[in-house]
Structure 1
Amino acid sequence: MSSMAGFIILLFIGVPVAFVLGLTTLIYIYSTGNIAALQSLPSKMFNGLQNFGFVAIPLFVLLGEIMNRGGITNRLIHFATVLIGHLRGGLAYVNVVANMFLAAIVGSANVQTAIMTKVIVPEMEKQGYDKEFSTALTASSSIMGPLIPPSMPFILYGVSSGVSIGSLFYAGIIPGILFALGFAVIIFVTFRKTKSNIIKRSSGKEILQSLLYVLPALFIPVLIMAGITTGVFTATESAAVAVFVAILIGAFVYKELKFKDVPGILLRTIITTSSVSFLLATTNIFGWALHLQGIPHMIADFFLNIAGSTLVFLILLNILLIVIGTFLEGPAGIIFLTPILLPIALQFGVDPIHLGAIIVINLTIGLMHPPFGTVLYIASANTGVSVERLSVKLIPFLLVMVGILLLITYVPATTTYIPSLFAPK
């Protein structure tokens, strides 16, 4: 009880999640008097990181840093503007489409929000769009970051569950498209009677020029998926190849990546990777402490006793994940929950790929709402829109997210169909 109380108190006073997990473990050890267990903590933290699949994380982080510094973001937004900017509410559609493109590069909702709120929200405001709506749309569209491959949350789930990371990448494609379509419906309803904010239609020549201009950037996610699909690369190897190609494109095609940028790129990659690695290490010892207390067995017994069918299990699973997603960030939640939930889900006949999508989507939605939603606070800090006003504007988007989540939950083919096409025969 003392460790649980410590966990809740530390979270509510704003201690970073990685430290919360580590400190809660220490509280548990001291409360039980098992001081000798302290000697094994360093090895348990280190052993939790000894997995080749984790090498993909710094490589994909590095890839995102290189492509962002190489001027990719502005080219993607320009291409989306040329394609659909002439529609009513065109720049709002551009926001969603550009987020889809960026999701294929960044793979993180937090990073995507940080980039897009600085780039596209000011432009939408100049064009007369409501700042609060623009910020809410940008924050919501970032949910596609962890879904459309490559995706850091899917890498973490794959490593934690033993599921093919390539299959998980494919599992996120249809959900990502569904969320884009859902946001497009909100935009259509909002701007259906608006005659302003319309950009002049681009000519065929302008569209072709913009496509050729952005094609090298779009080639990289295609290369990643093609390499994994054909078996030429593992997910980790594809990340390394993509980094090499991104350097060539940024330095010699777009000519915006300079040698002087390398130290900053590497520093940001190290900081991000170190944060994730420390989180992985503390999650490992926290999970160990939970197992000593029998918490996973209690959760399993709860589901098995209450849920008499797969339908009920999936309802309870979504409720549990949404509640946990309110307090735990995505990576911590995935690493902590996957070993607990996967065996239970298998007993109810839930496909591991389908389960991964449900976990990732739920925990990503948790980033969008109070009290601890990091996407919410990043968007608020970058645009100046208060968290309270932004939370109100996010309500229609959250309702659409939950509706799509339920569709994905009860129609497993939305996540398993594409991976099945590329499964070994």
Structure 2
Amino acid sequence: MDLLILFGGFGLAILAGVPVAVSLGIASAGYLAFSGMPLVVIPQKMYAGMDVFVLLCIPGFILAGNLMNNGGITERIVRFATALVGWLRGGLGLTNVAGSMLFGGISGTAVADAASVGGMMIPGMVRAGYPAPFSAAITAASSTVGPMIPPSVPMIIVGALSGISVGKMFLAGAVPGILMGIAMMVTCYLIARRRNFPREPWQGFGELGRAFASAFWALAMTALIIVGLLSGYATPTETAVVACIYATFVGLFIYRELPVRKIPKIIVDSAVSSAAILALVGFANVFGYILAAERIPQMIASTVLSITDNKFLVILLINVLLLIIGTFMETIAALIILFVPLLHLATSVGIDPLHFATFAVLNLMLGLTTPPVGVCLFVCANIARLPLAPVVRAILPFLLTNIGVLLAVSYIPALSTWLPNTLMD
């Protein structure tokens, strides 16, 4: 009965349109009240979930991304991507994906990518003759690359939950993120050839060089983050602070497009975004504490292992579960609730924790592009001023492509483990 109240309350709150963080809090409070446990457990476990040093990375990287974005980064990255691939058939679609890959190294979040790149690219693609549903779909699909290429907020969450080095998590996502981008660009090109989408004129190597020079300081931020982590001179949290200082300097003195008067508002907006994520972390930690008290992780592991202890089948079952969960639960909430139980299951059949963490994050990123709670879908459909249905139909080829990359990363551990083990061991 207690678990019925827990899961029933959470499900009803979600169906009623209550935000995920609040839904977790309502369900947890109902469970504690019915079971006779003191409600003081809620603030205690919320604080315990948020009182993790590495989580300080989150406001740092969000602020750095917002500073760079308000300092003219999006336009420069799109210009460079257009000069690089815009001359191919379906060039603006390819530019969209390439821009998301480059922008992902700045923002660390898919929603920021979808809103920033989409705000420029979706209207531009429609004006150039691309169908609006396709324009919105490729923007939503490509935004999922952002959290795979460092820095990455979901990777920070996983590091805090599991004790895996955040630096290793960042590097583990790099190759899968690049594979996702390449796969979506190939899919876009094939669709563009079949549907005879337009291409942009080749602007010459001179424009390519000028566009690269213009975007250099923005792109260098990713290199700064990775070098800081690999050198051992800075922790992830310290790297995030350095990134904020760097972003402010570039925006004020190099690009000169970051007005000083806007900085307080950028800080406040970043604080609000960070607070929303950390509140979700706190409420999800309460929910996860209840699941642990009810021995749900052990039940999941024993149930799956009673079906099979074959590592390859367990990977398949985990992926199917996460794909289903990702369709109706927000990424960070799903990670906090399910990651530790599924990590226990994965390690029990010999799956490397770093490998598991990478394909788990990648899997849940796909949930951002699937209804009913695909946040990136809603953002891009709203920018394109379209109902959700045509965007969902248009995104299916890209979703299938990304599932193919997910399976490759799931069954070829070296795609996620080789780079961090080579550079950080």
TM over 0.5: yes
Q: 1:196 Cα shift?
A: 6.2
List aligned pairs for 1:57-76, cutoff 5 A.
Answer: 57-76=58-77
How far does the alpha carbon of each residue in 1:191-210 deviate from its partner, in whole angstroms, 9 at most, with x for none? 22676622221222222121
Q: Which amino acid aligns with 1:8?
A: G
**Counterparts of 1:364 and 1:195 in 2: how far apart (Å)?**
30
Structure-2 residue corresponding to 1:352: 353
Structure-1 residue corresponding to 2:234: 233
Q: Which amino acid aligns with 2:72?
A: G
Q: Is the 8 A contact 2:29 2:42 kept in 1?
A: no
Structure-2 residue corresponding to 1:92: 93
Q: 1:224 Cα shift?
A: 0.5
1:6 to 4, 9, 20: 9
Structure-2 residue corresponding to 1:329: 330
Q: Is the 8 A contact 2:140 2:376 kept in 1?
A: yes
Structure-2 residue corresponding to 1:282: 283
Aligned structure 1 segments of 4 or more residues deviating by more than 4 angstroms: 193-196
**Counterparts of 1:18 and 1:193 in 2: how far apart (Å)?**
43
- Percentage identity across aligned positions? 36
Stretch deviating more after TM superposition (359-368 or 192-201):
192-201
Q: Which amino acid aligns with 1:78?
A: R
For the aligned residue pairs, the C-alpha RMSD in angstroms reads 1.3
Structure-2 residue corresponding to 1:296: 297
Q: Closer, same or farther in 2 for the Cα pair 1:201/1:341, shift >3 Å?
A: same
**Counterparts of 2:52 and 2:75 in 1: how far apart (Å)?**
36
Q: 1:40 Cα shift?
A: 2.9
Q: Which amino acid aligns with 2:54?
A: G
Helix, strand or coil at the partner of 1:163: coil
How far does the alpha carbon of each residue in 1:318-372 deviate from its partner, in whole angstroms, 9 at most, with x for none? 0111111122111111111222122221111111111111111111111111111
Structure-2 residue corresponding to 1:267: 268
Q: Is the 8 A contact 2:328 2:371 kept in 1?
A: no
Q: Is the 8 A contact 1:75 1:214 kept in 2?
A: yes
Q: Unmatched 5+ residue regions in structure 1?
A: none
Stretch deviating more after TM superposition (219-228 or 82-91):
82-91
**Counterparts of 1:160 and 1:65 in 2: how far apart (Å)?**
26
Helix, strand or coil at the partner of 2:39: helix
Q: Is the 8 A contact 1:88 1:194 kept in 2?
A: no
**Counterparts of 1:333 and 1:367 in 2: how far apart (Å)?**
12
Structure-2 residue corresponding to 1:25: 28
How far does the alpha carbon of each residue in 1:118-168 deviate from its partner, in whole angstroms, 9 at most, with x for none? 110111111111111111001000110110000000000011110011111
TM-score (norm 2): 0.97
Q: Is the 8 A contact 1:83 1:202 kept in 2?
A: no
**Counterparts of 2:255 and 2:310 in 1: how far apart (Å)?**
55
**Counterparts of 2:284 and 2:195 in 1: how far apart (Å)?**
49
Q: Which amino acid aligns with 1:105?
A: I
Q: Closer, same or farther in 2 for the Cα pair 1:201/1:194, shift >3 Å?
A: farther
Q: Is the 8 A contact 1:89 1:194 kept in 2?
A: no
Helix, strand or coil at the partner of 2:357: helix
**Counterparts of 2:366 and 2:412 in 1: how far apart (Å)?**
19
Q: Which amino acid aligns with 2:275?
A: S
